[in-house]
């Protein structure tokens, strides 16, 4: 098996020299075990903050993959079946099956299996739970989402549209803004080129926002909170603008605005609703099949390009889900 390890802890933005590819000899599979090979691997923002807190130098990079079972001594996972596995950045892995999930059984040929890492996978679930469980979206709400052209954000906006809400999104290029309009966002803007974020948010929704799905944090949030309506709800999903920051984080200064507008702000991790995942994945799949939920993928070819794909995603090169195809 080939693996990518964390050679050096990231300081600021990750560099090529922070990663090291290694070869590993896997043992024979035992009774109850399966050997699988990665077909698609995911590169996700959380890997950046996670590495700082939970990883040691030399560890294999954490991450999920869609893999094909190539050897099986476990009847639940026959040879040829596809699984979602969280075994990290590795081409081949062995598992006793406990941490493996089969892809939904009636996965149509016409839908790429890589969506099991995106729209019909963890990011899709994140979007769904953030909107439905954390924002508890309700009639008449106006939704704001940032990093809107990415894996999570693009699903947030589309679910909000499926449910009949007004949606505003921000993203980091004009092409991404055009993409957001194409998939049904009511308003979208390029946060890198607007002269005033406050004015852009006001222009897109003069009446303000009821739900703010925050993928970015930092300065964007400080400004966005001021644009919330009374009893607004903020789903704190991520803070990608801060992940590579080497300075101590201060703000957003939330107390005054939260009191006067009676806002509710809640951080969440997608795994909280694990018991609902199967039913939610089926819903996401149904929307994809009906053409109501569109997907885009930014595919990098070759396991050797995992670090480049990861750094590219952090820089914003991806529209839709960033994926590596082996």
Q: Which residues bind ligand NDP (CB under 6 A)?
A: 44-46, 123, 126, 147, 149-153, 171-173, 176, 215-216, 237-241, 268-270, 313-314, 316, 318, 321-322
**Residue 236 Cβ, how far from ligand NDP at the closest point, in Å?**
8
Q: CA 266, CA 283: separation in Å to the nearest integer?
A: 24
**Residue 101 Cβ, how far from ligand NDP at the closest point, in Å?**
16
**Residue 31 Cβ, how far from ligand NDP at the closest point, in Å?**
35
Query: DSSP letter at 60?
Result: B
Q: Which is nearer to ligand NDP, 192 or 203 (CB)?
A: 192
Of 217, 214, 30, the C-alpha closest to 134 is: 214
Residues 6+ apart with CB under 8 A from 268: 129, 130, 133, 134, 235, 236, 237
**Residue 63 Cβ, how far from ligand NDP at the closest point, in Å?**
12
Q: Which is nearer to ligand NDP, 184 or 218 (CB)?
A: 218
Of 305, 324, 298, 299, the C-alpha closest to 19 is: 305
Q: Which is nearer to ligand NDP, 125 or 263 (CB)?
A: 125
Q: Which is nearer to ligand NDP, 93 or 215 (CB)?
A: 215
Q: Which is nearer to ligand NDP, 11 or 269 (CB)?
A: 269
Which pairs from 181-185 meet CB under 8 Å and 24+ separation? 183/154, 183/157, 183/158, 183/294, 184/157, 184/158, 185/148, 185/157, 185/161
Vertex 116 angle, CA 108 and 269, to 5° = 145
Q: Which is nearer to ligand NDP, 266 or 278 (CB)?
A: 266
Backbone angles phi and psi of 216, in degrees to 5: -115, -45
**Residue 49 Cβ, how far from ligand NDP at the closest point, in Å?**
7
**Residue 79 Cβ, how far from ligand NDP at the closest point, in Å?**
31
Q: CA 324, CA 298: separation in Å to the nearest integer?
A: 8
């Amino acid at each position: 098996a080939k693996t990518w390890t964390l050679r050096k802890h990231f300081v600021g933005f990750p560099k090529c020299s922070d990663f090291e590819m290694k070869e590993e000899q896997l043992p024979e599979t035992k009774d109850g075990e399966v050997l699988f090979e990665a077909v698609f691997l995911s590169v996700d923002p959380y890997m950046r903050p996670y590495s700082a807190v939970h990883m040691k130098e030399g560890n294999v990079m954490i991450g999920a993959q869609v893999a094909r079972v190539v050897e099986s001594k476990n009847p639940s996972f026959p040879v040829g079946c596809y699984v979602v596995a969280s075994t990290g950045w590795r081409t081949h892995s062995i598992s006793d099956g406990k941490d493996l999930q089969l892809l939904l059984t009636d996965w149509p040929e016409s839908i790429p299996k890589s969506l099991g890492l995106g729209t019909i996978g963890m990011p899709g679930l994140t979007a769904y739970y953030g909107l439905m469980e954390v924002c508890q979206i309700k009639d008449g709400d106006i939704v704001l989402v940032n990093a809107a052209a990415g894996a999570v954000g693009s699903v947030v906006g589309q679910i909000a549209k499926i449910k009949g809400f007004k949606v505003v999104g921000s993203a980091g290029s004009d092409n991404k803004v055009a993409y957001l309009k194409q998939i049904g966002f009511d308003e979208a803007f390029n946060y890198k080129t607007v002269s005033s974020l406050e004015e852009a948010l006001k222009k897109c929704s003069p009446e303000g926002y009821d739900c703010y799905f925050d993928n970015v944090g930092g300065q964007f949030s400080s400004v966005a909170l001021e644009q919330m309506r009374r009893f607004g709800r903020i789903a704190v999903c991520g803070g990608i603008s801060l992940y590579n920051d080497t300075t101590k984080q201060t703000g957003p200064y939330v107390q005054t605005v939260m009191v006067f507008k009676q806002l509710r702000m809640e951080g969440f991790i997608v795994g909280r609703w694990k018991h609902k995942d199967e039913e939610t994945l089926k819903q996401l799949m149904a929307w994809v099949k009906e053409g109501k939920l569109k997907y885009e993928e930014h595919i990098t070819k070759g396991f050797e390009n995992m670090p480049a794909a990861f750094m590219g995603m952090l820089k914003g090169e991806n529209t839709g889900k960033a994926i590596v195809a082996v």
